[in-house]
Amino acid sequence: MTTILATFLLALLLGLILTPLAGWFGRAVGAVDRPGGRRVHDGTIPRAGGLAIFIAVSLALLAAWAWGTDVSRLIIPDRSLLGLLAGALIALGLGLYDDLFRLNAWRKLPVQILAASAAYAGGIALEKFALFGMTIFFDPVTSYILTVFWFLLFMNALNLMDGLDGLVGGIVFFASLVMIVLAIPREDYLTALFFAALAGSVLGFLRSNFHPASIFLGDAGTYFLGYAIAGFGLITSVKSHVGAAILIPILAMGLPLLDTLLAAVRRFVQGSGVFQPDSDHIHHRLLQMGLGTRKAVLLLYGLTATLCILAIILVNLRDERSGVFLVLIGAGAFLFAGRLGYMETLRLRCIPGWNETILRRKDDMAPGRSTALNEMLKKLENARNLNTLHRNAETAMHAFGFEGRLVVSLDDAQQVISSEPADKINRLLLRIPLLNGQGGRLGILILSKDPRNRSMTGSSLADAELLRRSATIALNRLTATTTTSALP
């Protein structure tokens, strides 16, 4: 226990010391984030925090190994440890290269698979799954595929979740704590030692990363942390005789994994690429609901801590009851996604005519009202020129209870980037890109609304979707007319 605590404290000290140095390195080599686009920060901030965490973890574990206690002697440079280290270096190197030169997702995927394959070659593999009193063993091919998927899931989940100051670091810290708490009673001191080094390094980094951040993790940090959680968690499940052990890291990392699932479904339904970045993640939705960065992060910290406590409870339940417990957790995740408006978005995309049905149902409550709204939307769609389009869009927005504006760019898609005044922070704020059939941007619809105002359809997102669709129809038609008139 002394070795584990000392390793944690040493990693914490190293994280505090190395993080400013990593920030200096990031600025020197040009690994920086600039404001604009999907980013919500101000100023130019280095994105090299992952390098500080990796070095801090490595030095802390190396010092523990050199100490020579009964616990530290468990660190043996065997095939599994070397395979895990090789994969971690590959993940870190990929992230550093991406931080400097920016790669698209399809070029990063083979390198991520290589990193996961290194761990598998070292013997760290998902070979079985035990739950409800049953054990399923996987053949080598299935085991390899599941192991690679496991690593890719955690690496990319953290990468997608890294959108607010201190968010990913805090999630990893809580996940590491729960892994330590569960490992020590089982006398799995090696796993506890690994996660102690990880928790201390991340906590030292958070000193500079919490809002307002002076340094970011960068892709190197999210890939390394995701890889470490996946690798250390897989080692835990292999050594444990508890059937639900494989579910511990899944629950502890529940928020990033839920965000990844929602992002994949959302992008598939919308017809965009699964790897296409957007600004509709869980943390973005919380900001749109009026929460500031600090409040949103603290809320997500609280949810992560709750999931970690649930993971501890799950491990101590019998397998027969764990199934019911998992169903309740899944229902909670579904309700949380619904509270953020994701279910409404999916209905609007998946069920043809859903938005018109919503309006028709209002006929009984307010005769003639939905007809008037539909007429406004038709006028918006049939606008003959940009001046009429703006005027009709403003009328329709006010009818639905929104304030906002329609920014149009038929010539240069880069001109549509804009921002709303700071006094909108306590209001629902939506920035909806308007795209043509080829995915090109025609403009952006900026909508602001007091969330306390009752929606005309029962859902502000449904209102926004109606406006988006009509504005897109108008812009597509005006674009086609402009192109035709320009032909000789």
The DSSP code sequence of 92-141 is: HHHHHHHHHH---HHHHHHHHHHHHHHHHHTT----EEEETTEEEE--HH
Cα–Cα distance measured from residue 286 to residue 280, given in angstroms and rounded to the nearest whole number? 10
Cα–Cα distance measured from residue 453 to residue 402, given in angstroms and rounded to the nearest whole number? 9
- Report pLDDT for 153: 93
Identify which has the larger pLDDT, 104 or 481: 104
With a CB cutoff of 8 Å and minimum separation 6, the contacts of 219 are 47, 50, 94, 95, 96, 98, 99, 159
- Report pLDDT for 259: 87
Whether the predicted pLDDT of 486 surpasses 50: no
- Report pLDDT for 366: 43
DSSP H helical ranges for 162-217:
167-183, 189-209
- Report pLDDT for 370: 53
Percent of the chain exceeding pLDDT 70 equals 76
pTM over 0.85: no
Please, which pLDDT band fits residue 239 given cuts at 50, 70 and 90? low
- Report pLDDT for 314: 79
The overall average pLDDT reported for the chain is 79
Query: Lowest-confidence range among 401-405, 443-447, 455-459?
Result: 455-459
427-430 contact pairs (CB < 8 A, 24+): 427/290, 427/451, 428/288, 428/289, 428/290, 428/460, 429/287, 429/288, 430/288, 430/464
- Report pLDDT for 244: 58
Cα–Cα distance measured from residue 3 to residue 218, given in angstroms and rounded to the nearest whole number? 30
Whether the predicted pLDDT of 457 surpasses 50: no
Q: Are 207 and 56 in contact (CB under 8 A)?
A: no
- Please write the tens of the pLDDT for every residue from 276-318: 776 778 887 888 777 788 888 999 999 999 988 888 887 777 5
Residues 79-83 have a mean pLDDT of: 89
Among residues 409, 480, 452, 178, which one has the least CA distance to residue 315? 178
Residues 408-431 have a mean pLDDT of: 50
What stretch of H or E contains 45? strand 45-46
Whether the predicted pLDDT of 273 surpasses 70: no
353-359 contact pairs (CB < 8 A, 24+): 354/462, 355/457, 355/462, 355/465, 355/466, 355/469, 358/457, 358/458, 358/459, 358/462, 359/456, 359/457, 359/466
- Report pLDDT for 147: 93
Looking at the DSSP bridge assignments, the partners of residue 131 are: 134
Query: Lowest-confidence range among 70-84, 310-324, 340-354?
Result: 340-354
For residue 341, what are its two tokens?
């408006």
Instruction: Determine if residue 179 is left, alpha or beta; phi over 0 gives left, psi from -120 to 50 gives alpha, anything else beta.
Output: alpha
Whether the predicted pLDDT of 78 surpasses 90: no
- Report pLDDT for 30: 86
DSSP state of 243: G
- Report pLDDT for 142: 92
Among residues 300, 328, 331, which one has the least CA distance to residue 314? 328
- Report pLDDT for 322: 66
- Asked if the bond preceding 212 is cis, omega within 30° of 0, the reply is yes
DSSP state of 424: G
Identify which has the larger pLDDT, 134 or 475: 475
Fill in the amino acid letter for 89. Answer: L
Secondary structure of residue 449 in the 3-state scheme:
strand
Cα–Cα distance measured from residue 431 to residue 196, given in angstroms and rounded to the nearest whole number? 41
Whether the predicted pLDDT of 362 surpasses 60: no
Cα–Cα distance measured from residue 113 to residue 152, given in angstroms and rounded to the nearest whole number? 7
For residue 174, what are its two tokens?
């809580």
Whether the predicted pLDDT of 188 surpasses 50: yes
Please, which pLDDT band fits residue 446 given cuts at 50, 70 and 90? confident
- Report pLDDT for 414: 37
**3-state percent helix, strand, coil for the chain, nearest multiple of 5:** 65, 10, 25
Among residues 17, 203, 222, which one has the least CA distance to residue 99? 222
Backbone angles phi, psi at 137, to 5 degrees: -100, 140
Q: Are 18 and 206 in contact (CB under 8 A)?
A: no
Residues 264-269 have a mean pLDDT of: 74
Residues 395-402 have a mean pLDDT of: 83
Domain architecture of the chain: domains with CATH: 2-345 (no CATH), 364-486 (3.30.450.40)
- Report pLDDT for 459: 61
74-78 contact pairs (CB < 8 A, 24+): 74/189, 74/190, 74/193, 75/190, 75/193
- Report pLDDT for 33: 81
Query: Lowest-confidence range among 56-70, 99-113, 202-216, 257-271?
Result: 257-271
What stretch of H or E contains 246? none
- Report pLDDT for 170: 93
For residue 367, what are its two tokens?
């005769």
Cα–Cα distance measured from residue 375 to residue 372, given in angstroms and rounded to the nearest whole number? 5
- Report pLDDT for 338: 74
Give the other-Cβ count within 10 Å of 259's Cβ.
Answer: 22
- Please write the tens of the pLDDT for every residue from 20-67: 999 999 999 888 887 654 455 456 889 899 999 999 999 999 999 888
Secondary structure of residue 442 in the 3-state scheme:
strand
- Report pLDDT for 409: 65
> Which among 109-113, 162-166, 433-437 has the top mean pLDDT?
109-113
DSSP code per residue over 351-389 = STTHHHHHHHHTTTTSTTHHHHHHHHHHHHHT-SSHHHH
